[in-house]
Amino acid sequence: MTTRWNRAVRALLCASLALILATPARALSVQEIARLHGQGETTLWGLGFVIGLAGTGDPSETIPLARQLARLLERGGNPVPKIEELAKGKNIAMVMVTCTVPKEGARRGDTIDVFVQSWHKAQSLEGGRLFITPLQGPLPGQGVFAFAEGPMVFEGDSVTTGLVRSGARVAQDISMNVIAPDGSITLIVEPPYAGWTTSRLIAGAVNADRMGLDESAREIAFAQDDRSIKVHIPEAELSDPANFIAAVMDIRLDPSLLSLPARVIVNERKSTIVVTGEVQISPAVIAHKDLVITTLRPPVPATPENPALDRSRWTDVATTGGERDRARVQDLLEALKRLDVPVADQIAILAKLHKIGRLHAELIVE
């Protein structure tokens, strides 16, 4: 950690975590809490080679590498009489290559990051370059959708797992069909927001937006269960449904009406934290690496010997003044964000709070 960051943390330790008034919740759009049925992430994969390694590739006894390399050379018009000869070098490594297509799909020419991992016993992939690798769909017979190629980059300590930035180029459109044969779309509520209250609220908001002041207009949205809402596209919009779908996804909702359970959903791989409901934390002292955060109630009055300090890098976490004088976890996360605490460390702090019973919510680790 930098010296500046340590100074900021010490300032936080010395300062009382004073009152911050809760701000009104921001309106949520439908697209923030629901997706269209038919949309969803999909994974492409392929077996490939990282070339140009400085003797850190697969060892000479890796016959599967030699077989795959021989097939590659034969496709290029270079027959190999003895595959054993190909296993003698250590400047090539056989790798598994995967990429995740976003839920909206992809179009020909789009580029996507690819994840590369050593398949056998390569010591290191540093300095190597991924050779042209066809990427196919997850199911047999789906065909090739993209080709991956490019220099390796590494995150963290592993030298046998890395990325190729924008390494996959889509070769054919990957479309997500969202309109059913009967001319309807189905909204799927994301798991953190799932519930009959949510699905009925979305259906009501869609109907209200479409009907306006015309009480005789036909309802077009119906809650089917706690996660799905069926919306019939009006006949006049079927020939060009894009505007209608965009308008539905942009409808605004009051989050206070969702009646969401208190949950904190974290994903360490994607470095995301999602908070639903009114999640509170009890007074606690948190020690994490060089970081210590203390909640005090009531705030310590300022005195000449212990004045209140106003510094640009310290931040506050407030109690709500409600039952048991708890603070909101949103305020804690905002405080950590203002101190540039990495998301991984924020997740670790939330896990500690949950373990000692100070995080009053369900903690879900994806």
Residues 222 and 201 placed together within one structural domain of the fold: yes
The larger pLDDT score, comparing residue 159 to residue 330, is at: 159
Residue 295 structure tokens: 């909640």
Last residue of a domain, one of 123, 146, 170: 170
Given the DSSP bridges, would you call strands 362-365 and 263-267 parallel, antiparallel or unpaired? parallel
Rounded CA-CA distance 243/250 in Å is 11
| pLDDT of 95 above 50 | yes
pLDDT of residue 6: 45
- Distance from the Cα of residue 198 to its chain's centroid: 22
Instruction: Give the confidence band of 352 by pLDDT, cuts at 50, 70, 90.
Output: confident
How many alpha carbons fall within 13 Å on the CB side of residue 236?
A: 0
Q: Which of 170, 194, 225 is the last residue of a domain?
A: 170
- 84 and 165 both lie in a single domain: yes
Tokens representing 30? 């439908």
Whole-number percent of the chain with pLDDT over 70: 75
Quick one: 279 and 361 in the same domain? Answer: yes
Total structural domains within the chain: 3
Average pLDDT over residues 52-57: 87
- Note the pLDDT of residue 364: 81
Rounded to an integer, the average pLDDT of 277-299 is 66
Name the pLDDT band for 286 (thresholds 50, 70, 90): low
What crossing angle do the helices spanning 329-338 and 343-355 adopt, rounded to 10°? Answer: 150
The answer, yes or no, to whether residue 113 has pLDDT greater than 90, is: yes
Is the pLDDT score of 238 beyond 80? yes
Are 264 and 345 members of one domain? yes
Same domain for 268 and 351, yes or no, is yes
Are the C-beta atoms of 118 and 124 separated by less than 8 Å?
no
Instruction: Kindly report which listed range (46-50, 149-153, 291-295) carries the lowest average pLDDT score.
Output: 291-295
Which residues span the domain enclosing 182? 28-37+177-253
Q: What is the pLDDT of residue 8?
A: 40
Give the pLDDT score at 320: 46
pLDDT digit string, tens, across residues 60-86: 666 666 677 777 776 767 666 566 666
Confidence (pLDDT) at 46 = 93
Between these two residues, 26 and 75, which has the higher pLDDT value?
75
Confidence of residue 279 (pLDDT cuts 50, 70, 90): confident
Mean pLDDT of the chain: 78
Instruction: Clarify whether residues 110 and 65 are in a common domain.
Output: yes
Task: Calculate helix-pair angle for 242-249, 196-211, nearest 10 degrees.
Answer: 130
Regarding whether 322 and 216 lie in a shared domain, the answer is no
pLDDT tops 60 at residue 17: no
- Residue that wins the pLDDT comparison between 142 and 289: 142
Q: How many CA atoms lie within 13 A of 104 on its CB side?
A: 5
What are the beta bridge partners of residue 126?
none
* Single residue among 115, 136, 170 that ends a domain in this structure: 170
Query: Do 200 and 213 belong together in one domain?
Result: yes
Least confident residue range of 53-62, 149-158, 160-169, 279-288: 279-288
Confidence (pLDDT) at 86: 62
Give per-residue burial for 103-135: e unless 16+ CB within 10 Å, then b: eebbeeebbbebbbebbeebbbbeebebbebbb
- Looking at the structure, tell me whether residues 163 and 282 fall in a common domain: no
In this predicted structure, what is the pLDDT of residue 136?
94
pLDDT for residue 353: 84
Lowest mean pLDDT among 205-209, 220-224, 294-298, 299-303: 294-298
The pLDDT of 39-47, averaged and rounded, is 90
Asked if pLDDT for residue 140 goes beyond 50, the answer is yes
Looking at the structure, tell me whether residues 219 and 331 fall in a common domain. Answer: no
66 plus 122 within the same structural domain: yes
- Domain identity same for 156 and 74: yes
Q: What token pair was written down for 172? A: 């054919």
What mean pLDDT is predicted for residues 238-248?
A: 91
Element (H, E) at 168: strand 161-170
Task: Check pLDDT > 80 for residue 12.
Answer: no
What is residue 299's predicted lDDT score, i.e. its pLDDT? 64
